[in-house]
Structure 1
Amino acid sequence: MAKTFGWLVLLERHGFVNWSLCHLGVLAGPAHMLFTSGAVLCGMVHALLPIFVLAVVPVMESIDNQFSKAAETLGASPGTRFWEIYFPLTAPGFMSGFLLVFVSASSFFIVPELLGSPSQTMLSQMIITEVLQLLNWRFAAALSVILIVCVGVTYSVLTMIGRSLFPHDRYAGSKALRGHGRSLLGRVGKVFNPLLLLIDKNKGVETCLHMLSRWGVIVFLILPLLVLLPISLTRSDFLGWPPQFLSFRWYTHIIRSPVWIGAIERSLSVAFFSGCLATVLGACAAMGIVRSRTSVAGLLLSVLLLPLVLPRITVAVALYQFLTPLGLVGTDMGLTLGHTLIALPYCVVTLVGVFKLYDRQFEQAAATLGAGWTARFFHVVLPQLRPGLIAAFLFAFAISFDELTIAMFVSGGVKTTLPKLMWDNAVLAVDPTLAAASTTLVLGMGALVTIATVLTSSSRRKTGSS
């Protein structure tokens, strides 16, 4: 939500981009950038790029550079080395990243709603309209099923093609497809070979391209967030660039508003209980998965990770239909259960790695010395797992606090969460109050994720050294 609002500030008629281009003489007047396909594309790429990077980087780091050096020794050109050696080795990571991005993008509605026009309406927006405005549950359920089927079919087809073209086992997959893939990559390598040879011979050009690509991505990711702080300190009643410094009136408005304070308190409360519940359930599941020696562990992990694969909007619709007969819609308990379902996969993934590094010999040694189950748990097991458990809790807390899709269906209309209140204000009337709330949200989530990352790394180092 905060990132999308940052793009709204950047691309509006009197925003940062138009102001900069006009002052540089590139444009004679403000250009129409908002409510276009380009604006929606920028917002979606900005939101999904970190997911793709997280999927690709581990695969790239695991590749042995000796393969490329051996090919170079045998006379392979840079294009051949990249497209026929390095790219096939990274293809599983690229395929995983693409599939994760595809699934996440299929349920986007915030970006097209705020940055697009009716011409950029997505299926998730139609589902929300049918449920929240027209109360046509049957049609919304049908659209949800269509979305799940389309995503599932596309996911399966792309997975099969990727495994056939770039299998982990050289005997797996279709030989015909592998042959076509190798031939295509060879032709692509020949096309790019002159450019890669030129870059390879000019180290200065190569260094410059590396710096431009690295800093270009960094600027692209942080610029929408950096503009929020100046806008939140403006004295003006409207969004515009440059802001009229310096005023804390919008932060004061949030502090003095019972609606904003109530939304913040509810978000903190729900996030805390969701984090606790997701951490406990994730710890139990992770321990069972790691210690199990049967195929049930893999099935359990697949089921627990299912909310990551399903479009978020379909999960929200299913939750609403499940919680309505129980009378939990509009209650903190219903919202906590929904957020726990979304946060649980992240806790499981975090804790599985922690439990794999946990050495059970310490526990066995304590049992040999006569320590009871309670003493072993609190004095041996818990101290080793504490950093990982805290990290999992912080991840779940951050995910719950920033969650909007579930809140739109489950929170109810009277009491709402902070992201839901921000969404309502963005749809009805955009003012600098949203910039102040977004800045607070970004800083808080950034601090929590940083702490969780440090604790996870610390836990792995301590457990590994033990």
Structure 2
Amino acid sequence: MSSSLSPGAAKRAPRKRLPAWLPALPCFVFLICFFCVPVVEILQTGIVNADGHATLDQFRRMTSDLVFAKVLGNTFLISGLTALLSVLLGFPVAYFLSQLSDRFRERWMIWIMVPFWTSYLVKTFAWILVLSKTGILLTLAASLGLVDDPNALAPSMTGVMIGMVHAMLPLAVINMLPIMRGVNAQLLQAAETLGANRSVAFFSVFLPMAAPGIAAAGLLVFITSLGFFILPALLGTPKETMVAQMVISAINDLFNLPYAAALSTVLLIFAVAVFILYDKLVGLSSLSGDTRAAPRKNSSAVATALLIGIGRLCGSGYGAAGPVVRKVKGLKLYSVVAVALLSLPIIVVFPIAFTNSPFLSFPPQGFSLRWFESFIFSPVWQASFLRSFGVAIVTALASTALGIGAALALTRLPPRWTKPVFAFLLAPLIVPRIVVAVGLFYLFSRMGLVGTDLGLTIGHTVLAIPYVVVTMAAALKRFDWRLDDAARILGASAFARLRTIQLPMMIGSVAAALQMAFIISFDELTIAIFVSGGMKNTLPKQMWDDMILQVNPTLAAVSLVMVIVIALLILLPAFYKMARRRAHAAH
């Protein structure tokens, strides 16, 4: 029986599929113009000389440069260790949270989300106060007689790793938790019914099913760390220099754009390679918290036997991992300590911000509001704060509008298109941020957008779109499409259904997407370094400039203001949700 279409049907087929693409079309056009074009331009700039001929001179320079080899090794070493330690230290916390009820889990997540969304600059500044030679940690150790001649923990490799793991640990927990929550507890009970003890059931059933979440956490932490420059620059020595720092130096100090492009290309190639490997082994769906995600290949008999053996060892009482797989107080205590350490640097900023001393010291000398006055009444700080706030609002609205359309299209596309479209929408999240920033700098320099609020908004929107897409895609998976079908049968248009049914029923997810996009923009530094042009600084860029020149108490006041803004954005929706739940329970 022939399945070929008639000429008329063949012409109508594309028109039937076209509406599925329409909601994502604005997002596609935006990303093509302000993400794909800049990235392609980086690749071109790195391999084309001034005469317009293809050349590999910049890459040959790298291969013969021992400094670059050392920096590249540092980048992968620091990124790899950060990913490994973040996953290992975050796994018990994620497992503990996965066993809690929704009500208690939400309360715990507040204390994880506030440190997670707190500015990297604020956290780095706090670690300087804690780890420096005159910082809190060594001052207390010296006063207690624990050390005679204290050596600073920052700047050093130790300081870099402490700051990196502290910054990335919440990201690892957040990515592992959704898939852990999706593991069917009945499978564990069935394993125990068939004779497996709790440890064997954990290692042979729970751990393999949670593996996609673990892999997703490791991937995102590793790729995010590849483009880091704030922490190694402020907490490390020249020995801990990473590739992103060389990119900034090549542009700002050496004015060598081709070399910066070649460095960015190297980062891009490695990031894409890791991403492709991840997709082959695990699949992209785990990045959106899809509980159905699973490794592509069944575990080998050797791996299964190894996991069962580990489970038996732990269950026998001889393994150190035994408490991890049991619901015991030790796991809760570990999680409490971990969350407390996440909040420690934020707490440190509070007393320092109210010091009366013109220098940073611990304990703070006296009490004064002079540093808040210096911040509030400074035209420079005022302008940077208002610019960051305004750009963040526009970014949140723009990225959410574009991301909702893209996520809606993902639910309507044929299965064969879903994966490549999802990968394209996630690309700004996978590509190191420094690569995007350099590419936009090249593009905006020709368009006259360097040093403009519009340029900053466009750059921040590119970075925020993947987070909005992931958030809204997860919400749309839970949406009851029968309601939409009923409205369509009754004659409602696509826009009317979106306005009256879909968005109102997903208002919580829309609010979360707006919140996330706002915070990403408000805290963003990498784009600002290149796009602000040194003329229109955002608040993070102004903080960065001051921290490079001299760390002073004004920065503590600014840091505290940023912490308060982020905390309010996270806490107010959570408290509103709790209040509505209590009111509903009362009725």
TM-score range, shorter chain: 0.7 to 0.9
Task: State the alpha-carbon separation in 2 of the partners of residues 214 and 169 from structure 1.
Answer: 26
Task: State the alpha-carbon separation in 2 of the partners of residues 439 and 56 from structure 1.
Answer: 30
Partner of 1:173: 297
Among candidates 324, 330, 354, match of residue 233 of structure 1:
354
Q: Name the TM-score, length of structure 2 as normaliser.
A: 0.70
Are the structure 2 counterparts of residues 80 and 378 from structure 1 closer, same or farther at C-alpha, using a change threshold of 3 Å?
closer
Spell out the pairing of 1:430-441 with structure 2 (5 A cutoff).
430-441=551-562
Q: Deviations over 1:227-265 (max 9, x none)?
A: 011110101111111112311111000111100001011
| 8 Å contact from structure 1 (residues 232, 250) kept in 2 | yes
Percent identity between matched residues is 38
Partner of 2:408: 287
Among candidates 21, 26, 38, match of residue 141 of structure 2:
21
Does residue 353 of structure 2 align to residue 212 of structure 1?
no
Partner of 1:30: 150
| 8 Å contact from structure 1 (residues 388, 456) kept in 2 | no
Among candidates 80, 89, 110, match of residue 200 of structure 2:
80
| Offset, 1:357 | 4.4
Task: State the alpha-carbon separation in 2 of the partners of residues 459 and 305 from structure 1.
Answer: 34
Task: State the alpha-carbon separation in 1 of the partners of residues 336 and 419 from structure 2.
Answer: 40
Among candidates 372, 380, 388, match of residue 251 of structure 1:
372
Task: State the alpha-carbon separation in 1 of the partners of residues 158 and 540 from structure 2.
Answer: 25
Partner of 2:536: 415
Q: Deviations over 1:192-249 (max 9, x none)?
A: 4554579979x9x974522431122012100011101111010111111111231111
Task: State the alpha-carbon separation in 2 of the partners of residues 270 and 169 from structure 1.
Answer: 36
Partner of 1:102: 222
Are the structure 2 counterparts of residues 71 and 284 from structure 1 closer, same or farther at C-alpha, using a change threshold of 3 Å?
closer
Are the structure 2 counterparts of residues 291 and 137 from structure 1 closer, same or farther at C-alpha, using a change threshold of 3 Å?
same
| 8 Å contact from structure 1 (residues 11, 39) kept in 2 | yes
Does residue 133 of structure 2 align to residue 9 of structure 1?
no
| 8 Å contact from structure 1 (residues 263, 415) kept in 2 | yes
| Offset, 1:415 | 1.3
Partner of 1:463: none
| Offset, 1:126 | 0.8
Which structure 2 segments of 5+ residues have no match? 1-120, 284-291, 582-587
| 8 Å contact from structure 1 (residues 387, 459) kept in 2 | no
| 8 Å contact from structure 2 (residues 388, 538) kept in 1 | yes
Q: Deviations over 1:26-58 (max 9, x none)?
A: 223433211111110010001111111011112
Task: State the alpha-carbon separation in 1 of the partners of residues 493 and 194 from structure 2.
Answer: 63
| 8 Å contact from structure 1 (residues 40, 112) kept in 2 | yes
| Offset, 1:455 | 7.8
| Offset, 1:173 | 2.5
Which structure 1 segments of 5+ residues have no match? 461-466
How many residue pairs get aligned? The number is 454
Partner of 1:65: 185
Task: State the alpha-carbon separation in 2 of the partners of residues 380 and 169 from structure 1.
Answer: 29
Partner of 1:324: 445
| Offset, 1:191 | 5.4
| 8 Å contact from structure 2 (residues 400, 513) kept in 1 | yes
Q: Deviations over 1:250-295 (max 9, x none)?
A: 1000111100001011111111111111121112222222233453
| 8 Å contact from structure 2 (residues 282, 293) kept in 1 | no
SS, match of residue 213 in structure 1:
helix
Partner of 1:118: 238
Are the structure 2 counterparts of residues 87 and 359 from structure 1 closer, same or farther at C-alpha, using a change threshold of 3 Å?
closer
Task: State the alpha-carbon separation in 2 of the partners of residues 269 and 280 from structure 1.
Answer: 17
Q: Name the TM-score, length of structure 1 as normaliser.
A: 0.87
Task: State the alpha-carbon separation in 1 of the partners of residues 222 and 366 from structure 2.
Answer: 41
| 8 Å contact from structure 1 (residues 200, 206) kept in 2 | no
Does residue 307 of structure 2 align to residue 185 of structure 1?
yes
SS, match of residue 295 in structure 1:
helix
| Offset, 1:78 | 5.3
| Matched residue type, 1:339 | H
RMSD: 3.3
| 8 Å contact from structure 2 (residues 281, 295) kept in 1 | no
Which stretch shifts more, 446-455 or 309-318? Answer: 446-455
